[in-house]
Amino acid sequence: MRMTNEAFGERLGISPRTITRWHQAPEMTHRIEVQQILDTAYEQAGEAVQRRFALLMRPAEPRVTAQALRVAIAVVLRGNDVLLVCRRGDGELRWQFPAGMVKPGATPETVAVQETHGETGVHCIIREQLGERVHPVTGVVAAYFLADHLAGEARNLDPLENVDVTWVPRSALTRFIPQDQIFPPILSALEAIA
């Protein structure tokens, strides 16, 4: 009703201190007599006040939160070899690890496995997460996973995005991807594997 505590208390026949306590403890359950007084005041308030009150009492709408653009990247090992795809993009070809966009509700681990299979026909299993970073070339949040080859021959199943798919020896990886562009935990993990 846009009244002061004093004016509202006078209208209801209640002490302004009581109304102040209501503001301090909004979860308070009122006695039946007080509820009846408030119901009567609401009914007499008029349509505009009732609409404002209904808006104030409406449950809060869930907030939509933006999700940063994320990709899941699989570093798939088969013995001493690492799986790479040659990606088309911006007029140039670039070798990289299989990767895919993580949509809301999906887990990066699942996306890494599914995208690897979808792009290359290779089935893999995640061994461990290697970490995350903002990718220096694309600017998206990239989650990296070390994975082991389970089955399947590497072949290009996504010719719209990729030109080629191949296994490369771990020792030759930096001939395909410049060392300064490889996430350092990937290099550490590959060096630690005997």
Which tens digit of pLDDT belongs to each residue from 126-183?
999 999 999 887 888 999 999 999 999 999 999 888 999 999 999 999 999 999 889 9
Q: pLDDT for 40-69, tens place per residue? A: 888 888 888 888 888 877 877 777 666 678
Task: Please give the model's pTM, rounded to 2 decimal places.
Answer: 0.66
Any idea which residue has 């970073």 for tokens? 133
User: ∠ CA 111-189-173 to the nearest 5 degrees?
Assistant: 85
What is the C-alpha separation between 33 and 78, in angstroms, rounded?
77
For the chain, the domains span 5-57, 70-192
CA 95 from chain center: how many Å?
A: 27
Six-digit token string for 96: 């990289």
| pLDDT of residue 10 exceeding 90 | no
Average pLDDT on 2-15 reads 83
Q: What is the dihedral of CA 5, 6, 11, 17, to 10 degrees?
A: 70
Superfamily assignment of 70-192 in CATH?
Nucleoside Triphosphate Pyrophosphohydrolase (3.90.79.10)
Q: From CA 188, how far away is CA 194, in angstroms rounded? A: 12
In the beta sheet, which residues pair with residue 143? 72, 132
